[in-house]
Amino acid sequence: MLQGTSGRARTGDAWSSGRLPQRNGSYMSNGKRAHWGSRLGFILAASGSAIGLGNIVFFSASAYRGGGGAFYVPYLIALFVVGLPVLAAEFGLGRAAGGAFPKALGKYAGKTGEFFGWWGIANALTITMYYISLLAWVTGMGVLSLTGTLWEPTAAVPAFDVPGQTLDNPVGSFFAMISGDHVLYAVLFVWALNVLLTLRGTQSIERAVTWMMPTLWLVMALLAVGGLMLPGGTDGLWMLVTPDFSALSNFDVWKGAFSQIFFTLSLGFGVMSAYSSYLPPDSDDVANSSAVAGLNCLFELIAGIAVFAILASFALTPKASTLAMMFFIVPKGIALLPFGVAALGTLFFALLLLAGITSSISLIEAAVSAIIDKFGYRRERVVGALALAGFLGSCLFALPTVIDPGLDAAGTVGLSLLDYVDHYANGYGLMLVGLVECIIIGWFLPVESLMELMNRTSKLRLGTTFAILIRYVVPLVLATLLIAGAISEVRSGVLYGTNPSLASGLAALLPMLALAGWLLFTCGLAALLTFARGSRSKDEVV
Amino acid sequence: MSLTSSGLRICTIVGFSVAMPALALADVHVSPERPMEGQTITLTTIEEPESEGSGTATYAPGTLVSRTEPFVDSNPAAGLQWTPARAGLWELSWGETKMTVVVGRRAVPVSGLLVLLVAASSLLGLSVWGLLRKS
């Protein structure tokens, strides 16, 4: 049976009026679980988690690749069929279990459920490590915006000190930056920011998102309006939204839209369960999931307009890669602006950093919250230990060692590892966790019990459609995406990242090392944490 | 969060940048600079193109709806000429020269406007409904 909502009126009233005991970390001084200061704070934090680098650049690339406006048809269907139900279920799950992901899944499916919960957290930690490396590069590009030759498109930058080899900007500046030792200081800087923002749990996160999220929205809205005012900017808008319906007969468009929705809403990370576990018992999960999903996708639409307007104005072709879009294509467009290039360029990278930080703190919080739930350690110790391990991992993904000076592949060890590990952690890990999560909620919990709990506090009552979606439709969709990905992997005949022109040395070994490292780290850590003896009993914290 | 999905795959663009550091953009003059659908575009190059007045035009390059059509110069004396049938992003390729052109629309596309309105209103509605709902 699920936890009841006893004490609902007391906690809910206090929460609404802001008259709650002082919070500090995951738990309060009285041993009860910490809470968000306000509903708006929770929505800003959860939407901040969902809105990340991919919203700003990857969505635009996916929409362009999928036939412009025609992409919105499967995208909106995916939002209502997969995104909203799974998000609402994750909110409900966190609240029902009164704890983070492993605890929540473990409560209803024993050690197997807990293992997948920890595996999701291990994946989230892996992603945090390389995500912070990416943010370190964003920081580096921001610094170059102000101090370097980044905005001089014709400046030939020496690439990797190879005699006679130069690269045009912004590609040249990017590779010069990621192959320099200074990038590790940027990694340290971004980790320090994350520690600062997660040290006090919901308190510090809420305080940060209260100004970060409105700033993010404001800057993005300004960029969109500015982009539309450029000559030819509105052509970009129409390129983004005008449908080519022939795309709808292509399976890849549907696959792209469903994957996009799953990733964009931070599903399968354990973040949303962790965040909702800090909600009071009378929260409306349906309304909360609507607000978070709506805000995330609306931001994506506005970002798409901004990016497309700039690209169309300068006749640049979008690329289906987050990295290429944010470091090469959009900066190339900014460099062609008639005025304020350095200022707007710096603003663009600051925007990326802001969007990235609101996501990375949520990934860290998911892990911190889960560890405190099980072991009862002090938050400061958990954040410190995670930051140290995470910093070392991020350094690995930012390693400036050049292994491919001809740039047949990704250039440095760090970027190559990031590319390969992202392929597995993001492409398979999250969906597999999502699939298991839906099976546990749909069949073990079961979903009717969760609906009963959610319906007690939701104005819009969930019916059998929700149960059918969670129990049958979402698992079927996720299984199809996973199987389709695996089939295309097998058909390619080689391990992802294998490059014939890099047939020897470390570069040739990296794809295999990345796969083995990812599997060992995530499975090993999940097993270790699942079978380790915890200090808190399952029901202690509700 | 949607960090990267389906890999970062930067190789293509980086390889392109290294192998072809300078596209012949500076050597090509496009007239009119911002062409419209159905309007004939004249491309004049400072150097003689290596192919004899023919090339390919690829609509929406790099997408799942991309299509390529040949274009033949009907009036070599005036420069290479091409008439885009539809608005959008086109990649023109002739000889060793490649360039991207955005072809504008003569009128606001009804289908595009409809998609924009449906997407924006449903997402805005979802957000506002969720935000204003109180338990």
Give me the average pLDDT of each 10-residue run along chain A (542 residues): 36 40 49 80 94 85 84 93 94 88 90 94 95 95 86 73 74 86 94 95 92 93 90 90 88 87 88 91 92 96 92 80 82 84 90 94 94 92 96 93 70 87 88 92 88 90 93 94 89 78 74 93 96 65 36
| Pairing mode, strands B41-45 and B28-31 | antiparallel
Residue A351 Cα, gap to closest chain B Cα (Å): 15
List all residues of chain B from 95 to 134 with a beta carbon under 8 Å from chain A: 99-105, 108-109, 111-113, 115-116, 118-120, 122-131, 133-134
The per-residue pLDDT for A272 is 92
Phi, psi of A265 (to 5 degrees): -90, 10
| CA dihedral sign of residues A113, A114, A118, A124 | positive
Q: Within A230-268, where are the H helices?
A: 233-241, 251-264
User: Is the Cβ pair A66, B123 closer than 8 Å?
Assistant: no
Q: Which of A322, A325, A489, A499 to mutate to test the interface with B (most CBs of B within 10 A)?
A: A322
Task: Tell me what pLDDT residue A197 has.
Answer: 95
CA pair distance A241, A59, nearest whole angstrom: 13
- Three-class secondary structure of residue B104 per DSSP: strand
Residues 28..57 of A with a Cβ closer than 8 Å to B: which? 40, 43, 49-55
CB A135 within 8 A of CB A181: no
Radius of gyration of chain A (CA): 23
A170 lies within 8 A of chain B by CB = no
pLDDT recorded at residue A335: 86
Tell me how far apart the alpha carbons of residues A82 and A265 are, in angstroms, rounded to a whole number: 10
Using alpha carbons, list the distances in angstroms from residue A282 to A2, A108, A278: 14, 21, 12
Picking from B113, B115, B135, the nearest residue to A282 by CB comes out as B135
Taking every pair of Cα atoms in chain B, the longest distance, rounded to a whole number of angstroms, is 74
Evaluated on CA atoms A195, A199, A203, A204, the torsion sign reads negative
**pLDDT of B18:** 36
Q: Residue A233 is which amino acid?
A: G
Three-class secondary structure of residue B22 per DSSP: coil
| Complete DSSP assignment for A9-67 | HHHHHHHHHT--PPP-TTB-TTSSB---S-HHHHHHHHHHHH--HIIIIIHHHHHHHTT
pLDDT of residue B47: 60
Structure tokens at A97: 């279990």
Sheet with B80-82, side-by-side order of all strands: B28-31, B41-45, B80-82
* The predicted structure's pLDDT at residue A538: 44
A355: three-class secondary structure by DSSP: helix
Residue of B7 and A487 predicted with greater confidence:
A487
> d(Cα A124, Cα A270) in Å, to the nearest integer?
8
pLDDT single digits (tens) B30-63: 888 888 988 888 877 766 555 556 788 999 888 8
The answer to whether the Cβ–Cβ distance between A290 and B118 falls below 8 Å is: no
Residues 6 or more apart in contact with residue A337 via CB below 8 angstroms: A230, A344
Q: CA A396, CA A390: separation in Å to the nearest integer?
A: 10
Question: Which pairing describes strands B80-82 and B41-45: parallel, antiparallel, or unpaired?
Answer: antiparallel
Size of interface A-B (CB pairs under 8 A): 257
Q: Which residues in chain A have Cβ-Cβ distances shorter than 8 Å to B104?
A: 232, 235
- Residue ranges of the alpha helices (H) in A98-182? 101-147, 171-178
Q: Using a CB–CB cutoff of 8 Å, tell me whether A8 touches chain B.
A: no
pTM (global) more than 0.95: no
How much is the pLDDT for A503?
A: 62
> What's the distance, Cα to Cα, between the start and end of chain B in Å?
27
pLDDT of res. A136: 96
Note the pLDDT tens digit of each residue in B62-115: 888 888 988 776 666 667 788 888 898 898 887 777 888 899 998 999 999 999
